[in-house]
Amino acid sequence: MAVRLNVKAIVFDLYGTLVDISVIAERCKEVAADGEAFCGTWRAKQLEYAFLTTLMGRYRDFLYITERALDYTVAHFGVTLDTQQRKRLLDGWLEPTAYPEVPSALAKLAEKYALAVLSNGAPRMLESGLKATEIRPHFRWVLSAQAVKVYKPSPRIYQLAAQKTRLAKNRILFVSSNSFDVLGAKNFGFKVCWLNRSGAQLDPLGPRADFIISDLTELARALGLN
């Protein structure tokens, strides 16, 4: 597959897109009988709290939100965590791994495009995650929701990438594995690639991605960088 997009920059979501957060699911299994359900609730509440605080006009950074979502989850599952266990779970968000193909695909893409990260994550999370995965050097910009104090899929956070890159919306390709992020970016006006790693289902709620890939190597290939 080759696509003609005429874009100058590629902006990436981070969690689930470039970096793997399955270490968190593993750690959840250490503290809860049904670790998978525990992790699912934690992640669902984390996203819900990002949406709710934005809707209420009460931004709090993503570490705060992640902690409150953990508080909810712990109470919901009747789990007791000691200080060490709690820290180990939260630290999971600071110590992701890059998906295997990501470093080499980014290196290729960076030869031709200006690359950026645009994430709901707090600056400390992004810094830590990009350092742990050693992919920081590929990016010209690392942009956090913190700068605009709203979360995806508000248009204001996508606007941040357009401002920083000084490019028209349709000269930017946005890549995300998260359905709500694909919707939000497309709604804003970016060209959008859905990196559907897990065969997930897109929410039938508006504009569709321009194209779909299953790993980042495909993106380099689709853009003609072989």
Tell me which stretch binds a second copy (CB under 8 A): 20-28, 83-91, 93-101, 180-188. Answer: 180-188
Catalytic residues: 13
In the list 89, 92, 184, 192, the residue contacting a second copy (rule: CB under 8 A) is 184
Closest CB to a second copy among residues 124, 156: 156
Q: Identify the three-state secondary structure at position 50.
A: helix
CB atoms < 10 A from the CB of 204, how many?
A: 8
Tell me which stretch binds a second copy (CB under 8 A): 126-134, 136-144, 150-158, 209-217. Answer: 150-158
Rounded Cα distance, 14 and 96, in Å: 10
In the list 5, 21, 72, 210, the residue contacting a second copy (rule: CB under 8 A) is 72
49 is an interface residue for a second copy by CB under 8 A: yes
In the list 206, 208, 214, 224, the residue contacting a second copy (rule: CB under 8 A) is 206
- The torsion angle over the Cα atoms of residues 35, 90, 21 and 48, rounded to 10 degrees, is 80
Contact 173, 154 (CB under 8 A): no
Rounded Cα distance, 153 and 155, in Å: 6
CB of 127 to a second copy, least distance (A): 25
Closest CB to a second copy among residues 12, 49: 49
Contact 38, 139 (CB under 8 A): no
